[in-house]
Structure 1
Amino acid sequence: MTPRPLSVLIIGATGSIGRYAVAEALRQGHSVRALVRDQARAARALPDGVGLVVGDLTRPETLGPAMEGIEAIVFTHGSTTSERDVRDNDYAGVANVLKTLDGRPVRIALMTAIGTTRPGVPYTQWKLRSERLVRGSGNPYTIVRPGWFDYNQPDQRNIVMLQGDKRQSGSPKDGVIARDQIARVLIDSLHIEAAEHKTLELIAEDGPEQEDLTSLFASLTPDARESLDGAEDTVNLPVDHEPETFRGDLATIAAGNVTPER
């Protein structure tokens, strides 16, 4: 079935996953907009047909125009393993976008990383907090935690979706996946009903890529509506012990929640 075209905003569109997400969204017939800091650079990097809107994730006052009329948002941005960079870019970008929406419902696909729930790792905790904000926003969403990018062999294209974030070696032993497949899963999730309110780890194993991912999404356990964490995750970060920055962001975003507060 051909998906209904959506107006999709890609965050991180010029990055290594974002470019694939843009291409896949266009291939599926969506109207694609990209939030960019440098319009000239983005115009060289992205294909024709992509609407370019200048803004900066770290400056919320610049984000409004990019989100006008948007039906879906795909977050593909990511920084280093520095706690400060992840906090000030990865996490803050999600927080600022959700606060700018101010409760307006959109379909969200968020990319974080496999091993996000590893205990005692400061930078992954900020990725986890960005996931919690998405769950607390009341929007329909899919959270994708990909394995190691492009470590897969050419015949390693069979898409596998896991839950519980149990692979935490911090190496390719946790699982591998091609960048274009990550993009495909993110974009497919926007129109597959079975993908809603699901959190998953994404890897590839030996074999061909599936034509339809509906059954894979359908096999996953949905996140509990009253929880800020993934359905099968083990997380020990009580909200009342979390940093004030996170608690304030969560309160602001939940205040505009279109569903009952968690």
Structure 2
Amino acid sequence: MTLLVVGSTGTLGRQVVRRALDEGYKVRCLVRSPKKAAFLKEWGAELVPGNLCYPETLKPALEGVTAVIDAATARPTDSLSIKQVDWDGKVALIQAAKAAGVERFIFFSLLDVDKYPEVPLMEIKRCTEIFLAQSGLNYTILQLCGFMQGLVGQYAIPILEKQAVWITGESSPIAYMDTQDIAKFAIAALKVPETENKTFPVVGTRAWSAEELISLCERLSGQEARITRMPINLLRTVRHVSRFFQWGWNVSDRLAFAEVMATGKPLAAPMDEVYQVFGLNPDETTTVETYMQEYFSRIMKKLKELDYEKLKTKKKAPKKTPFKKPQ
């Protein structure tokens, strides 16, 4: 089976590639920049140049492909809008996959997309789910809600560097999941007939609020966090102002998504039945505690090593004297 992974250089996409290769699949990656994706080639994947926003590049990439795993999404810093990438691009990809006779299509969506029609990214994901379901392709939709990898930059690093940790509105508990575990579900779906033409939540073992995550990071780092709260009305003002500028459209759309995480409503779902369908063991899923503990263990060890090296260098440095050595 040959897989085409779209969004393969992203936080989730690269883990999908790694997992697929480890399980013996032939993996092809659609990439905009082969240079930036060189590490995927080193792993053993085939790189094909292409871009979701240029439909003519998709047909060659799909030749001989059995299944597509779509992990692509627009980034806040992209010059292209969320609509261009996450709607126009996905529609083109689904149509091209159907024309190429692709047997399976795995799509990553978001949890509770039907509850937030005012949030551009979630509404686009909802519409894409409908379009995929009506395309005639044999599909599986996995609805996610948060990556553990993002917790490092959001909480761990600011606390270690004694910088402010920002919390917006009433913190919504989120069931974060390690992208390596999400990749397991995506690859498992290819082998389980019961996942065909269905939608599943794929979320972590429990939902964590911002306050709980900060407390965990404080305990593991031994440092106290500097918490700064941004009023939800200020966030909305920034979002509306950024809409006046084309360069701010993606930022505005992402800020709209940030409002979802400030409602106080949990982003989580029961997973017992999902694990049974996919044939995966929930006990092997990484927990937030384990993930953060491993991160802090590595970083604290590194910091101690750096301090030790500085101390050795200082001891070796020659002492300065006001007296000149005799000639």
Report the TM-score, using the length of structure 1 for normalisation. 0.66
Max radius of gyration: which structure?
A: 2
Within a 5 Å distance, the mapping from 1:33-72 to structure 2 comes to 33-72=28-67
**Deviation string, structure 1 residues 193-232 (Cα, Å, up to 9, x no partner):** 11111112211216xxx9xx762349xxxxxxxxxxxxxx
User: What secondary structure does 1:123 align onto?
Assistant: helix
Within a 5 Å distance, the mapping from 1:179-258 to structure 2 comes to 179-205=179-205, 215-217=276-278
The equivalent residue for 1:227 is: none
Within a 5 Å distance, the mapping from 1:84-233 to structure 2 comes to 85-103=81-99, 104-117=101-114, 118-150=116-148, 173-205=173-205, 215-217=276-278
Cα contact 2:139–2:197 (8 A) shared by 1: yes
Superposition RMSD in Å = 2.8
Identity of aligned residues (%): 28
Instruction: Evaluate the alpha carbon distance shift between residue 171 and residue 144 of structure 1 in structure 2; reply closer, same or farther with a 3 A threshold.
Output: farther
User: What secondary structure does 1:39 align onto?
Assistant: coil
Runs of 4+ residues deviating >4 angstroms: 169-172
2-side partners of 1:170 and 1:134: how far apart? Answer: 34
Q: Quick one: which amino acid aligns to residue 65 of structure 2?
A: I
Flag structure 1 segments of 5+ consecutive residues without an equivalent.
1-5, 154-168, 219-262
Within a 5 Å distance, the mapping from 1:14-29 to structure 2 comes to 14-29=9-24
**Deviation string, structure 1 residues 127-180 (Cα, Å, up to 9, x no partner):** 111111211111111101112100799xxxxxxxxxxxxxxx996614211111
The equivalent residue for 2:5 is: 10
Q: Which has the higher contact order (CA 8 A, sep 6+)?
A: 1
2-side partners of 1:59 and 1:145: how far apart? Answer: 26
Pairs aligned (count): 193
Report the TM-score, using the length of structure 2 for normalisation. 0.54
The equivalent residue for 2:68 is: 73
Cα contact 2:149–2:179 (8 A) shared by 1: no
Shift of 1:41: 1.8
Between structures 1 and 2, the one with greater helix share:
2
Shift of 1:46: 4.7
**Deviation string, structure 1 residues 61-120 (Cα, Å, up to 9, x no partner):** 1111110010000000122479x7221112222211122234424201100112322232
Flag structure 2 segments of 5+ consecutive residues without an equivalent.
152-168, 207-270, 280-327
User: What secondary structure does 1:173 align onto?
Assistant: coil
Cα contact 1:86–1:123 (8 A) shared by 2: yes
